[in-house]
Structure 1
Amino acid sequence: MTPTTSGTAQASPQELFRFLEDRFGCALACTECAHACALRAGLVDPDGSSNHEHLRRKGILCAEVCDATCRALSEDHQMSEAALRVQLEWCRTICLETAHALDGHAGAEETATACRACARACADFMVSLA
């Protein structure tokens, strides 16, 4: 049985602990990705090329979405499970798109890895909401 914020499911202390641990792990992955993407966006050479501008914008968007997802996971503001699922799926999608855009760019491997780890953490946490 999955613990819910609405209190409809009764969870054992172990299930609740695992749920909170998974939630924290996802928030941490989002924070790490947001930081990596923000740094990467700041390092993109602003030479005016459309590819560099695309990478910079992808990095900024990913950082913002990951930051918003981390806040949604960290703050207890009674976000519905459905809304949280939408946020997690949005984050997962943006992270995968950003990682794909960074593939093959020198010095971007760590950022792409952080994006993929965040996408995986979001997907894994969505499973715990089922």
Structure 2
Amino acid sequence: MTSTTSQQELIRFLEDRFACAQACTECARACALRASLVDPGGTEEQELARRKGIMCAEVCDATCRVLSEQNSVDEAGIRVQVEWCRTVCLESAQVFDRQPGAEDTARSCRACARACSDFLTTLT
């Protein structure tokens, strides 16, 4: 591997890491907003959407924090966190698909899951 290749891989890694953190931030905002719009005393499906929104926001926020840290988390720890985030985002998108008016939140969740997948490819 040449020095230029290593540098290009590092740049891609950092760009994908930043894109993933940015997508996590956007998703966390969208999910938190969506959760705050749902009446906690609503239907069972609305309550599921509210809980999923809160959980997704928390997982995305935690993932963003992990990605922002310099060297305090090893690659295996980062991988687990990002994979968890991707899974929660996809599950949340499915729940939001069933909620009228939640299309933008579902889109944010899917975008975050894609960014997580893209970032994970740089870890292999």
TM-score, normalisation: structure 1 = 0.87
d(CA) in 1 for partners of 2:71, 2:32: 26
- Shift in Å, 1:40: 0.3
Equivalent residue for 1:42, pick from 36, 40, 44:
36
Which of 83, 92, 95 does residue 86 from structure 2 map onto? Answer: 92
User: Could you tell me whether the CA contact under 8 Å between 2:97 and 2:103 is conserved in 1?
Assistant: yes
Contact 2:26/2:108, CA 8 A, preserved across alignment: yes
Could you tell me which of 92, 104, 107 is aligned with 1:110?
Answer: 104
Structure 1: which amino acid aligns with 2:89?
Answer: C
Provide the identity percentage: 66
- Per-residue deviation, 1:15: 2.2
For residues 107 and 121 of structure 2, the distance between their equivalents in structure 1, rounded to whole angstroms, comes to 21
User: Partner of 1:65 in structure 2?
Assistant: 59
Residue segments in structure 1 that go unaligned for 5+ positions in a row: 2-9
Q: Match of 1:124?
A: 118
Which amino acid in structure 1 is aligned with residue 61 of structure 2? D
Report the TM-score, using the length of structure 2 for normalisation.
0.91
Q: Is contact 2:32–2:54 with CA below 8 Å preserved after alignment?
A: yes
Which structure's residues are more often helix, by fraction?
2
The alignment of Structure 1 onto Structure 2 pairs a total of residues equal to 122
**3-state secondary structure, aligned to 1:126:** helix
Which amino acid is 2:55 matched to? L
Residue type of the alignment partner of 2:97: D
TM-fit CA distance, 1:11: 5.9
RMSD: 1.6
Contact 2:12-2:122 at 8 Å conserved across structures: no
